[in-house]
Amino acid sequence: MSIHDERKAKLTQVLSGAGLDCVVLFGNAWQNDYLRYSTDFAIVEGDGFAVFHRDGAAQLFLESSAEAQRAKVECPTVEVTFAPDLVEAIAGHVKRLGNRAIGQAPLAVMPMGLAALAAGSKLEDATALFDRCMFIKTPAEIDAVRRATKIAEDGYEIFRDASRPGRTEYQVIAEVEAYFRDRGCPENFQIMGSGGVEMMGMHPPSDRKLKAGDLVTTELTPCIDGYYSQICRTLVIGEPTKAQQSAYAVFVEAMEAGKKMLKPGVTAADVAHAENDVFRAHGLGEYTTAKYTRVRGHGMGLFVDGVPAILEDVETVLEENVTVIVHPNTYHPEVGYVVVGDSMVVTKGGSEMLGSFTSELQTVGA
Amino acid sequence: MRRGLLAWSEKETPKAALEARVARVQAAMKAQGFDALLAYTNFPRPATVSYLTHFIPYWNQGLMVMGQEGLPTILVALSNRVRGWALETCHVEDVVCTPRIGADAAKVVKGFADEIKKIGVVDADRLPNGLAQPFRQLFGGIELVDATDLYTTARSPADGPEIELTRHAAAIADAAIDEARTHGFERASALIGVIDGAARRAAAEEVQIAVAPDLVQGTDFRRFEGDAALGATYAVRVTVAYKGFWVRRTASLSRGEAPASWADAAARLRAVTTGLGTGAELSDRMNSTFKHWSAVGPVGGHPLADLADQAAKYRRIGAGSVVSLSVNTDLSDGPWLGGGAVHLAAKPGGTAQLLFA
């Protein structure tokens, strides 16, 4: 059974259980996971809606004619409509569905035009149902994340070798992107940073030129069959200083503590505490706060930055077959922003690292 | 996510140009009685906000708010640690990093006037309901009025920086395709890799590539997750953004000698596009020459929305605007696909300028 067929089977079961006849899903290249889960279409341009029915039938409404043409070829079992007036088209469709039990997701980004035009149609919030489906991965989904992890690690080697003095950040990322496309990987989430103590975080690649002594950080997140996996690593251009080496060692210790904590039944907060306790033990507790860092890891799958956020106040319970990255990335006052992170799957008895890349501080010649 | 170069060069996009764009929109706001204007942004739908401020979110979502005076403020759901980066890449009153975009944006709007009576929204039907709700709450159930036409009218004709940056985006696409022409590719992924890398090394903000891998088998474009063998003739559709401006270039390529008829088809495309003038008769002119064609360009936040094709006109095409045309035609020795960006004349009698080689 293909990943898409697995997902369809799961969804039909979930809709039946919830008493829903169909669900209306919104998406675009940023928030693509709901469309992808229900139709297997990877939208690139414009916005789109999917309607997934309890019998497994699916329809796509796309505002871009180029995307509609592509969807017809790439998703032959889905009924595709080019809808330049997208919201009007989906609202009309919803009205024609009449008094059926209809869900909608994701509620947070559902366009207000739909609510206005489909007034009178009761659209029940189905976001939690979908999020639950996407949270627990099937074996085929875990395999896709594992394959994405492999290409992430290969991509990191390209990134490391491209990080040479005199090159701009965007030129370094261009090498990684070219490599991914050549490997048949169409999408990647990647931010980076370069410099020293002035570097407070990561961002899209700039035109800053790398230089000897720089710490160069990246989180690199290719997508295979729609599933993302991430690797975070730090490298030094030239010989690492003692400060860089000892700072980095704290991050590896924190990552390992988080990974060790990861098992069914623990919460995201437990994992975050395990990571942050290492920083606190080294007198760096201040740098685990929102002033210096966003999250200590997060879920991964069809959405690159999925639930749960690994934070000390997130009580989501982790279960078997959940995929996450554990990354205690933050600022270190002596060397700047440092990252290290591994992608993991929660297993019956604990957790398993999806890749095998060394956690050692990377170096390239100056 | 957007992972090409996102950087603001004042040399390429002077502050004065951004301020002039904002002033044109504000003049229209005053004329139509709008106290505030909202524009939503995310990386697939960045065009309105990038046009007015140069800000492009690499990830997540944001909202631009603007009063009748002053520069816009951007509220974005990114970490406060990237606020410095955001401020470096745009010309605004402020960038506010917040998870409560709608609520915090409504508070900024409240400061625009003693009484807020009318709020306009570019692409109003797409504004996430969750972002709209705080405005209704703070302003007593105020109606959020669609202001897409107001914005679109103020946006054309294209100004100098828009034309130059679009020309640059088109040159990046041309050069990337030219680099691919020099290889004898057998796999789609190798072709895509070379084009993508070449465009990003040339500082493209975004590159999107689709391939019709074997024109003998069909002319449908696909985005590849994996690979496919290339036929003797194939086509690429390369979409490139540079500093907020987007073009689409379509090209047919061959592994050996190109079919003899291709040069004539390319000449016909060039002839019909230069004759487009202001674009007022675009559909008639294109229909007289090509059975299948399409025109895309910026509409609200969508950087390359469908404007017209052989079947219908979808949006008004502004004189002096930039559109990307694509054609698909059957020739005696097989299909040919081509196209690129065109800068339409601003006034009747003017000549359209081709922005592709």
- State the maximum Cα–Cα separation within chain B, in Å, rounded to a whole number: 70
List B residues 266-305 in contact with A (Cβ-Cβ < 8 A): 294, 296, 302, 304-305
CA distance B110 to B130: 18
For chain A, which residues score pLDDT lower than 50? none
Kindly report the nearest CA distance between residue B223 and chain A, in angstroms. Answer: 8
DSSP string, A326-345: E---EEETTTEEE--BEEEE
List A residues 292-321 in contact with B (Cβ-Cβ < 8 A): 292, 294, 304-305
CB contact at 8 A, A90 and A111? no
Q: Which of B293, B300, B291 is nearest to B342 (CA)?
A: B293
CATH topology for the B15-155 domain: Creatine Amidinohydrolase; Chain A, domain 1 (3.40.350)
CATH topology for the A139-364 domain: Creatine Amidinohydrolase (3.90.230)
pLDDT at position B216 is: 95
Please determine, looking at this structure, whether the domain spanning B160-354 carries the CATH number 3.20.20.80: no
Kindly report the nearest CA distance between residue A348 and chain B, in angstroms. Answer: 31
CA distance B76 to B74: 6
Closest-approach residue (CA) in chain A for B222: A70
**Candidates B223, B224, B246, partner chain A, best to mutate (most A CBs within 10 A):** B223
| Cβ <8 Å between A292 and B81 | yes
pLDDT at position B182 is: 83
Residues in chain B: 357
pLDDT at position B184 is: 83
Residue A119: partners with Cβ closer than 8 Å, 6 or more residues away:
none
CB contact at 8 A, B266 and B72? no
pLDDT at position A133 is: 96
CA distance B115 to A33: 41
Sorted by where each begins, the domain ranges of chain A are: 3-135, 139-364
Cβ-Cβ contacts under 8 Å, B58 against chain A: 191, 203-204
Q: Is A96 exposed, middle or buried (0-12, 13-18, 19+ CB in 10 A)?
A: exposed
Residues forming CATH 3.40.350.10 domain(s) in chain B:
15-155
ipTM of predicted assembly, 2 dp: 0.97
> What are the φ and ψ backbone dihedral angles of A277, each rounded to 5 degrees?
-60, -35
pLDDT at position A116 is: 84
Alpha helices of B13-54 — where are they, by DSSP H?
A: 15-32, 47-53
Strands (E) in A96-142, as ranges, are 102-105, 123-125
List A residues 2-41 in contact with B (Cβ-Cβ < 8 A): 28-30
Residues forming CATH 3.90.230.10 domain(s) in chain B:
160-354
Please determine, looking at this structure, whether the domain spanning A3-135 carries the CATH number 3.30.70.100: no
Average pLDDT for consecutive 10-residue bins of chain B (357 residues)? 96 98 98 98 97 96 98 96 94 97 98 96 97 96 94 95 98 97 92 98 98 97 95 97 98 93 96 92 94 97 98 95 97 95 95 91
DSSP state, residue A287: G
List B residues 44-83 in contact with A (Cβ-Cβ < 8 A): 44-45, 58-61, 79-82
**Candidates A34, A62, A203, A330, partner chain B, best to mutate (most B CBs within 10 A):** A203
Task: Retrieve residue A16's tokens.
Answer: 């039946």
Chain A interface includes B222 (CB < 8 A): yes
CA distance A297 to A308: 8
Of B6, B127, B201, the CB nearest to A204: B6
Q: Which of A352, A333, A332 is nearest to A344 (CA)?
A: A352
Query: What helix, strand, coil percent values describe chain B, rounded to 5?
Result: 35, 30, 40
CA distance B81 to A106: 27
pLDDT at position A120 is: 79
Kindly report the nearest CA distance between residue A140 and chain B, in angstroms. Answer: 16
Chain B interface includes A98 (CB < 8 A): no
pLDDT at position A212 is: 97
